[in-house]
Structure 1
Amino acid sequence: MKCPHCDYSNPEGVRLCLTCGHELFSRETPEQDPNSLFYEFAQLVDGIPSNRRSVKPKFQNIFSRVFRKHSDIEAERLFIVGTSLTTPKIEEVAATWPKPWLFARVFLIMLIVYLGLYLGVSLFGNINFIPGLIVVGAFAVPFTTLIFFWEMNAPQNIAIYKIVYVVFIGGILSLLLALIFYDILRSNINPITIGIVEELAKVVAVIFFVRHLKYKYVLNGLLLGAAVGVGFASFETAGYALRALLSDSFHMLYNTILWRSVFSPGGHVAWAALTGAALCRVQGDSKFRLNMLIKSKFVFIFILVVMMHALWDSPILNSLGQLILMIISWIFVFRMIRIGLNEITDKKKRLTVT
């Protein structure tokens, strides 16, 4: 629609001119849904009639689109969500059941880049490739996992730029907090205190982002918690990889990146995602208060991730044990996704009744 004030041609359904901010509809004009074209486009891209969509959690359908052919338009459609113009109302969320696929493409891209950097170092002996190798190797799998959580965020109310912001700010904030806690404990460092310190540091970082009511859904907490966990895990892996390199061992460098990448989805990322979801679950539509941290629904999840973290770091656990812990973590992640999707359904029903 052309703005009567500056003649700028705005997309249909926009209430305010994107250039000058002039109101495009008078108060007498029937209000139009600013998201209507977006969802019409989404339905066209997804190819699924709206009356056949559901947010009911069906595990067997989650990965049904990973191996399908997807166009650039579909990816572009995913990346425009979360803005003021493309965030759906809660009543409209049931129109889309998350079936993530982009995370697999992101992993493939990261893998190709890492292999290129690896060849640059190992085949051509160019040390200029080493910083890129460490950074890409540290972020590849955690960031891929984060894209999965982002696609599973059914409310579609968090833009990708916000997620990148949380990864870096939340990651460094949680790491610095962990160092402060470690400095306080000093000689009392063991697997249990490590679990408490690091998980508590990530919880504080998540609180910083969800303390306002903008991100109030369980799936929001799952995503933001995962973002903090990605920053924490990736920075930590990069540090361990550099330490291995300084020991004059390229074998240890590659081994560190490989194994920490393999287990990262079930470690820091999943644990922070769970505590973030639990935090939003107890917070609900209210402003954050410290007494929410003693509610049973949060305490149970926090104790669970602390114990898994402690077991993970204990010398009695081998790679098989860590794999089992990783599976347990993701069982709880998918249970939390189920809770988040049911939360949306319940809120939609309450709005329909009122």
Structure 2
Amino acid sequence: MKYCPHCGKPVRENAKFCPSCGETLTVSQDQPATNTNQIKGIYDSATAKLNQYTGEKGAVKVNISDLFSEVFKHHSKKEADAIFIAGTESTTPALADVSDEWAKPWLFSRILIGFLLAFVVLLYMAVSFHNDKAVPGLILVGAFAVPFSGLVFFFEANAFKDISLFEVIKVFFIGGIFSLVVTLFLYQFVTFSTTSQYLGVLTLKDSVSIGVVEELGKVLIISYFISQLNVRHILDGILIGAAVGAG
């Protein structure tokens, strides 16, 4: 079986055109398909369907090494400041000026390293000096390290730059708090097993229920903010989701 490199759909071995997307198939694609090609075909097919929601066609091509190529390069404070100057009438670029290339986030890595260094120092204080006052900071830093760094990553990756830092902070705090409120309300409709209630041991059903309730609570709040902010791009939706999740 051969797969179209543009949309990932299966095509006949001797086909010159893809029946799904209409793209021309080159002669080099007549070679027998390997397991790698089959996996690539499944990935291309899945991302091509998702890409249709953006008004585009074809599979989504992601180059991981290119995506993180700016992480290990030197960047100035001016470059970092420019990242957060976004989302206003004077700084939001026109749609025609938005690059069609993948963004190359880098600031998130510095923030993640800062969190990890703070975590190591607080851990050393708590263990070596038996300083109990370091424990709350240790918990706080450990809880925020990945979610907050991830939020900065998606803020950098939002090529449309049409959501301001103020809006992100608002979603972070308000969305985070109300997603907890909604989640606690949804918990009223969930029953846990006797083992969980009396012995503190979660069963598989309990664990699945917790995951469903907590994610549903976040989805409801994310849907509200997407509606309120009149989001038009998938990257904007991902940023809002990251803000609510981190909050």
Structure 2-normalised TM-score? 0.65
Of 35, 53, 77, 2:82 maps to 77
Give the counterpart letter for 2:163 in structure 1: I
Relative to structure 1, is the Cα distance of residues 124 and 84 closer, same or farther in structure 2, using a 3 angstrom cutoff? farther
Of 92, 112, 116, 1:111 maps to 116
Give the counterpart letter for 1:145 in structure 2: G
How far residue 194 of structure 1 moved from its aligned partner, in angstroms, is 2.6
Of 164, 168, 177, 2:173 maps to 168
Give the Cα–Cα distance (whole angstroms) in 2 for the partners of residues 56 and 185 of structure 1: 41
Aligned position for 1:342: none
Aligned position for 1:210: 226
How far residue 60 of structure 1 moved from its aligned partner, in angstroms, is 3.5
How far residue 169 of structure 1 moved from its aligned partner, in angstroms, is 1.8
Aligned position for 2:17: none
Relative to structure 1, is the Cα distance of residues 161 and 136 closer, same or farther in structure 2, using a 3 angstrom cutoff? farther
Relative to structure 1, is the Cα distance of residues 192 and 120 closer, same or farther in structure 2, using a 3 angstrom cutoff? closer
Matches within 5 A, 1:299-318: none
Alpha-carbon deviations, 1:214-247, whole Å to 9, x = none?
A: 322111101111111122xxxxxxxxxxxxxxxx
How far residue 175 of structure 1 moved from its aligned partner, in angstroms, is 1.7
How far residue 97 of structure 1 moved from its aligned partner, in angstroms, is 4.1
- Does 1:138 pair with 2:143? yes
Give the Cα–Cα distance (whole angstroms) in 2 for the partners of residues 216 and 175 of structure 1: 26
Give the Cα–Cα distance (whole angstroms) in 1 for the partners of residues 64 and 122 of structure 2: 36
Matches within 5 A, 1:122-201: 122-187=127-192, 190-201=206-217
Give the Cα–Cα distance (whole angstroms) in 1 for the partners of residues 166 and 137 of structure 2: 22
How far residue 126 of structure 1 moved from its aligned partner, in angstroms, is 2.4
Give the Cα–Cα distance (whole angstroms) in 1 for the partners of residues 227 and 99 of structure 2: 26
Which runs of no fewer than 5 residues in structure 1 stay unpaired? 1-54, 232-354
Give the Cα–Cα distance (whole angstroms) in 2 for the partners of residues 74 and 94 of structure 1: 18
2:133 counterpart SS class: helix
How far residue 206 of structure 1 moved from its aligned partner, in angstroms, is 0.3
Aligned position for 1:61: 66
Alignment size in residue pairs: 177
- Does 1:99 pair with 2:104? yes
How far residue 118 of structure 1 moved from its aligned partner, in angstroms, is 1.8
Alpha-carbon deviations, 1:255-294, whole Å to 9, x = none?
A: xxxxxxxxxxxxxxxxxxxxxxxxxxxxxxxxxxxxxxxx
Superposition CA RMSD, Å: 2.2
Write 1 or 2 for the structure with the bigger share of helix.
Answer: 1
How far residue 135 of structure 1 moved from its aligned partner, in angstroms, is 0.9
Which runs of no fewer than 5 residues in structure 2 stay unpaired? 1-59, 194-204
How far residue 131 of structure 1 moved from its aligned partner, in angstroms, is 1.8
Aligned position for 2:245: 229
Give the Cα–Cα distance (whole angstroms) in 2 for the partners of residues 120 and 191 of structure 1: 34
Relative to structure 1, is the Cα distance of residues 119 and 161 closer, same or farther in structure 2, using a 3 angstrom cutoff? farther
Give the Cα–Cα distance (whole angstroms) in 1 for the partners of residues 90 and 148 of structure 2: 26
Give the Cα–Cα distance (whole angstroms) in 1 for the partners of residues 61 and 209 of structure 2: 39
How far residue 84 of structure 1 moved from its aligned partner, in angstroms, is 2.5
How far residue 96 of structure 1 moved from its aligned partner, in angstroms, is 6.5
